[in-house]
Amino acid sequence: MGPTEIKIGGLGGQGVILGGIIIGKAAALFDDKHSCLTQAFGPEARGSACSAQVVVDAEPILYPYVHNPHLMVAMSQDAFAKFSPELRKDGTLIIEEDLVKPTGLPSTVKVYAIPATRIAEELGKKMVLNIVMVGFFTAITGLVSEQAAREAVKDSVPPATIDLNMKAFDRGFAYGKQLLAGPKN
Amino acid sequence: MSNANPSGTLTGSHYLDGDHACSEGAIAAGCRFASGYPITPSTEVVERLSARFPRVGGRFIQLEDELGASIALLGAVWGGAKACTVTSGPGFSLMMEHIGYAAITETPCVYINVQRAGPSTGLPTQPAQGDMMQARFGSHGDYRLIALCPNSPQECFDLTVEAFNLAEEFRVPVLVMLDEVVGHMTEKVVIPPAEQIKVSERRYTKKKPGEGFKLFEAANGSMVPEMVKAGDGYRIHVTGLTHDDRGYPAMNVPTHEKMQLRLQDKIVENADRIVRWEEKDLDGADVVVVSFGITSRVAERAIKAAREQGVKVGSFRLITAWPFPEKQIAELSKKVKAFVVPELNLGQMALEVERVVAGRTKVVPVPHVGGTVHNPETILNKILESVR
């Protein structure tokens, strides 16, 4: 099938890189696949554009960079504007629906939106929006198994926050499943 | 050789970046002291060491600058520890003085350099492989050392263990030369059970104090002297001045010649034991791509494309940059039509390939200023041109 390229973009502080790590880890450690994550960030700790790039493949990965992602997650308008031209015409775009208004996309791109920040706020911690996104991504793309993604979340967050993060994952995952099952609009 | 200490070894499968894998390699190899002055893109190495060391009986200290960092580890080694420091370009430049000092005092130690684009402050968060000649010749005077170039987080772990082993075996500073991409790239890293990780321990003399032990006398039929550690009751002298077998300064040509030649020969004459490389499809190859670090992985894509176009191209990946695998490259140069040498600098290891090839065949450098990696097509075009 060849490598699947994923790009996750957002603002520093949104947990973009951790989101990428969880997806990559799910594939490499808990599904029997290979993955490679690279990241781009500015010198600032927060507020600058950042992205995580993940390649997932059944074979060992040689070339680590993502140029034309099959799957893209945009968590800020800037990230959408900057990265969406790279997305394949038959690609899938996942967005934070309150933060990203997609424009100018080819009609062949499939777009899935989730109010991840609002859901995270309902759970009491805006910080977990990236885990909501990971749950949503898992449901929508099926690139990594639900089991692997759950293991990877548990393995990647501070122990004291596992329950909260699993709730965040579940909410995102359920939202995605519901969206897929629901009437086409 | 003995086995790694299970208490420090994080056996299992992990999703680690190259920097963190270096830290785990150091700990598995028995490193229990690190000094550093954090600098992007190497900071993650010392971050992890500083968090992990307290749990395994190690100590990390942050110094006032890289001059302090690069000498503190040498003090720790003479106090009996295995030790390393970690840096990137500008810090590596500052450390050159002490790498020379480590070479002349034959202090077994490890310097990890996560290369970013230079010169000077350059591009702090972006990759290059521009310190390769500095690794070989950066400190003044003649000396030899060992430099290893991992191309994945797994190899960052494996080669950091190896670096500590080689340092002990040859009483020499060993450099682990990552590039920013390998340092910040995250992949699965498998850390084996401690009993499967071979670790070279320091070779201390069996002679007792007063039995005529000489700190710089080749021992046991090798060219490498044995050591003692501070506090064990030996009267020793460790100096950056030219010294005799006892370590005492001796300002004359015969002593200098003897010392210098042994520093050289212990590496040159043991090159077969030290040199490491990975080769692919060399049988019948017309073109061989010589590369290292992240560039070797980018080159793989070009090599694949070239083979699809019918070019017989193989790959020779440098794992040791220094000593350079000159025997192997010289041998290949009698058989192939061209070497293609992509690297993230304006031509450094290509010079070494040219030196060894000595005009027998074509050497085609594929320079890149760094800041990102090559476009695989650039390498592909050079491969295609080289056989035209």
Assess if residue B327 is contained within a domain: yes
Q: Determine the Cα–Cα distance for residues B40 and A165; give it in Å rounded to an integer.
A: 30
Residues B51 and B144 in one domain: yes
pLDDT band at A42 (very low <50, low <70, confident <90, very high): low
pLDDT tens for chain B, residues 1 to 388: 899 998 899 999 999 999 999 999 999 999 999 999 999 999 999 999 999 999 999 999 999 999 999 999 999 999 999 999 999 999 999 999 999 999 999 999 999 999 999 999 999 889 999 999 999 999 999 999 999 999 999 999 999 999 999 999 999 999 999 999 999 999 999 999 999 999 999 999 999 999 999 999 999 899 999 999 999 999 999 999 999 999 999 999 999 999 999 999 999 999 999 999 999 999 999 999 999 999 999 999 999 999 999 999 999 999 999 999 999 999 999 999 999 999 999 999 999 999 999 999 999 999 999 999 999 999 999 999 999 8
The pLDDT, as a whole number, for residue A129 is 97
The pLDDT, as a whole number, for residue B329 is 98
Assess if residue B258 is contained within a domain: no
CB pairs under 8 A between A and B: 50
Nearest CA in chain B to A53: B185
Other CB atoms closer than 10 Å to residue B251's CB: what's the count?
9
Other CB atoms closer than 10 Å to residue B138's CB: what's the count?
17
Name the residue among B206, B209, B148, B210 with its Cα closest to residue B174.
Answer: B148
The pLDDT, as a whole number, for residue B238 is 96
Residue A182: is its pLDDT beyond 60?
A: yes
Write a three-state SS string for B264-325: HHHHHCCHHHHCCEEEECCCCCCEEEEECHHHHHHHHHHHHHHHHCCCCEEEEEECEEECCC
A77 burial (CB, 10 Å; 0-12 / 13-18 / 19+) is middle
Name the residue among A9, A25, A45 with its Cα closest to residue A133.
Answer: A9
Nearest CA in chain A to B300: A62
Q: Which residues of B touch A (CB under 8 A)?
A: 13-15, 17, 40, 124-125, 181, 184-188, 294, 297-298, 300-301, 373, 376
A25/B184 Cβ within 8 A: no
Say if residues A138 and A149 touch (Cβ distance below 8 Å): yes
Of B199, B222, B253, the residue that ends a domain is B199
- Cβ neighbors of A108 (< 8 A, separation 6 or more) are A89, A90
Residue B249 DSSP label: B
Q: What is the ipTM of this complex?
A: 0.92
Classified as helix, coil or strand, B30 is coil
Phi, psi of B312, deg, nearest 5: -85, 95
Of B199, B224, B247, the residue that ends a domain is B199
The pLDDT, as a whole number, for residue A92 is 98
Residue type present at position A63:
Y
pLDDT band at A41 (very low <50, low <70, confident <90, very high): low
CA distance A182 to chain B (A): 36
Strands (E), B18-145: 31-36, 59-62, 82-87, 109-117, 123-127
B297/A37 Cβ within 8 A: no
B294/A64 Cβ within 8 A: yes
pLDDT band at A50 (very low <50, low <70, confident <90, very high): confident
Interface with A, mutate which of B10, B14, B15 (most A CBs under 10 A): B15
B185/A36 Cβ within 8 A: yes
The pLDDT, as a whole number, for residue B271 is 98
CA distance A30 to chain B (A): 10
Residues B153 and B284 in one domain: no
A42/B301 Cβ within 8 A: no
Residues B195 and B290 in one domain: no
Residue A44: is its pLDDT beyond 60?
A: no
What residues of chain A lie within 8 A of the CB of B121, using their CB?
Answer: none
Strands (E), chain B: 2-3, 12-17, 31-36, 59-62, 82-87, 109-117, 123-127, 146-148, 173-179, 186-191, 198-199, 277-280, 287-291, 313-318, 320-322, 338-342, 362-366
Interface with A, mutate which of B39, B126, B188 (most A CBs under 10 A): B188
Name the residue among B332, B379, B382 with its Cα closest to residue B357.
Answer: B332
B185/A28 Cβ within 8 A: no
CA B82 to each of CA B1, B75, B97: distance values in angstroms, whole numbers, following the listed order: 15, 10, 20
Residues B63 and B162 in one domain: yes
Assess if residue B244 is contained within a domain: no
Nearest CA in chain A to B298: A63
Q: Determine the Cα–Cα distance for residues B370 and B216; give it in Å rounded to an integer.
A: 41
Q: Determine the Cα–Cα distance for residues A82 and A85; give it in Å rounded to an integer.
A: 7
> What is the C-alpha end-to-end distance of chain A, expressed in Å?
30
Residue A159 DSSP label: G
Residues B50 and B187 in one domain: yes
For residue B350, the domain's CATH number is 3.40.50.920
The pLDDT, as a whole number, for residue A45 is 57
Classified as helix, coil or strand, B172 is coil
Tokens of A131: 């885990």
A35/B300 Cβ within 8 A: no
Residues B164 and B301 in one domain: no
Length of chain B, in residues: 388
Domain that holds residue B23: 2-199
Say if residues B42 and B88 touch (Cβ distance below 8 Å): yes
State if pTM tops 0.80.
yes
Name the residue among A123, A181, A152, A178 with its Cα closest to residue A56.
Answer: A152
Q: Determine the Cα–Cα distance for residues B214 and B226; give it in Å rounded to an integer.
A: 8
Taking each helix axis from N to C end, the angle separating B89-104 and B253-268, rounded to the nearest 10 degrees, works out to: 120
Structural domains of chain B, count? 2
Q: What is the pLDDT of residues A112-127, one digit of tens each?
A: 999 999 999 999 999 9
Assess if residue B213 is contained within a domain: no
Nearest CA in chain A to B183: A38
Label residues B307-327 b or e (16+ Cβ within 10 Å = b).
eeeebbbbbbbbbbbbbbbbe
A63/B185 Cβ within 8 A: no
Residues B174 and B290 in one domain: no
Classified as helix, coil or strand, A136 is helix
What residues of chain B lie within 8 A of the CB of A38, using their CB?
Answer: 181, 184-186
CA distance B310 to chain A (A): 21
Name the residue among B192, B191, B197, B276 with its Cα closest to residue B20.
Answer: B191
For residue B91, the domain's CATH number is 3.40.50.970
Of B149, B170, B199, the residue that ends a domain is B199
Distance of CA B282 to the CA centre of its chain: 25
The pLDDT, as a whole number, for residue A46 is 62
Nearest CA in chain A to B12: A29
Q: Which residues of A touch B (CB under 8 A)?
A: 21, 24-25, 28-29, 34-39, 41-43, 61-65, 152
B301/A64 Cβ within 8 A: no
Nearest to A37 among B185, B294, B373 (CB): B185
Q: What is the pLDDT of residues A126-160, one digit of tens each?
A: 999 999 999 999 999 999 999 999 999 999 999 99
Assess if residue B270 is contained within a domain: no
Nearest CA in chain A to B13: A29
Q: Determine the Cα–Cα distance for residues B243 and B43; give it in Å rounded to an integer.
A: 36
Give the domains, in start order, of chain A with CATH numbers.
Answer: 4-176 (3.40.920.10)
Residues B187 and B286 in one domain: no
The pLDDT, as a whole number, for residue A48 is 74
CA distance B70 to chain A (A): 25
Residues B15 and B102 in one domain: yes
Residues B144 and B283 in one domain: no
Assess if residue B240 is contained within a domain: no
B184/A64 Cβ within 8 A: no
Strand order in the sheet with A4-11: A110-114, A92-96, A71-74, A4-11, A49-57, A34-40, B186-191, B12-17
Residues B153 and B29 in one domain: yes
The pLDDT, as a whole number, for residue B332 is 98
